[in-house]
Chain A
Amino acid sequence: MLDDLSALLERLELGREMKHKIMLVVSEAFTNAYLHGNRENPETKIKIGLTVNETEITVDISDEGKEREGLKNIENKKPAALFGENGRGIDLMRHYADKVRFERGTKGGLKVITTFFRENINEVKI
C-alpha cells in the first residue's frame, strides 16, 4: 500500500515534506483499519480515496468494521504510556494532518477523513 501511495504522491509533485506527512498519516489510519476495524480479516477491504485541489489534499480511509465500535475506541482512547508499545497512531495523525474527522463509511465501518493544507508544507523538517 505504501509503495503505491508513495508512487502516486511522487507523480503529484507535492514536495517531500507533504509526501512524508501524508504517508505517515495514511499508514496510521490504514494500520488501525486493518487491526481494529477489519480485525485482520483477509476477506475484508480497506478503501483509500485521495482528492487533490489547489488548496488542500484530502485522504479518506474506510474499513469494513463496526463504525460505532471504532468511534467508541477513539473516544475512550487514553494517552499512550511512555513505555507502551501501542496507542500513538491517532496522536501522530492529529499532529501531522491539518484536520482529522471520523464518520460512518458506506459499508458501515469507520471512515477517517484527513486533510492537509498545501500552504503548511514547510512546517515539517525533513
Chain B
Amino acid sequence: MDIKQRDRGSIAILDLSGRMDLSSGTMLKEHIKKLFEKNVTSIHLNLTGVEFINSSGLGSLVSIMKETRLAKGRLTLSNLANYVQEIFEITQLSHIFEIYATEEEALASYQSVPAN
C-alpha cells in the first residue's frame, strides 16, 4: 500500500492506495503514530485508491480509530469503492466509522464537528 500525506490546516489527509492487509495495516498504524507524536490528531483517510481490504486491514483501521479517540482526535474516511463499502457494511463497521462520500464532505464536517 502507498501512503501520501497532504495537510489542510490542522487536518492530515492521507491518500491510501493499493491493498490494505496485515503488513500494510501495520505500516499505516506506524505512519499515524508519528502524526500523534506531532500532536496531529485530526486525520482523514481518502481511500480512493484502495483496491482491496481484508479483515487485517479493517482491524488496523479499528485500532487507529480507538487510538484517535484516546488522543481526543477525529478520524474520518471517504471515497470508499463499492466493494470496500460493502465490506464495512457486512462487518457493521460502517456504524462506528465516520464515512463520507467525498473528501470535501469529510473536511467540511470538521468545521461543525471539531476534534474533542
Q: Please tell me which one of the listed residues B19, B55, B62, B90 contacts residue A31 in the complex, with CB atoms under 8 A apart.
A: B55
Kindly report which residue of chain A lies nearest to residue B59, judged by CB atoms. Answer: A85
Q: Are the CB atoms of B90 and A95 closer together than 8 Å?
A: yes
> Which of A20-28, A63-71, A97-105, A109-117 has 4 or more CB atoms under 8 Å from chain B?
A20-28
Shortest distance between the CB of B61 and any CB in chain A (Å): 9
Q: Give which listed residue, A82, A83, A85, A89, contacts B54 with CB less than 8 A.
A: A89
Q: A2-B21, A20-B83, A80-B91 are in contact. Are A85 and B62 (CB under 8 A)?
A: yes
Name A2's contact: one of B19, B62, B81, B95 (CB within 8 Å). B19
Dominant SS at the B interface? helix
Give per-residue flags for B28-63: 1 if the beta carbon is below 8 A from chain A beta carbons, else 0: 000000000000000000000000101110111011
On whether the beta carbons of B54 and A31 are closer than 8 Å, the reply is yes
Instruction: Write the residues of chain A forming the contact surface with B, with a CB cutoff of 8 angstroms.
Output: 2, 20, 23-24, 27-28, 31, 80, 82-89, 91-92, 95, 124-126
Q: Give 18 A-B contacts (CB < 8 Å), ordered by A residue.
A: A23-B52, A27-B21, A31-B55, A82-B93, A82-B95, A83-B66, A84-B59, A85-B59, A85-B62, A86-B55, A86-B59, A88-B91, A89-B56, A92-B90, A124-B83, A125-B82, A125-B83, A125-B86
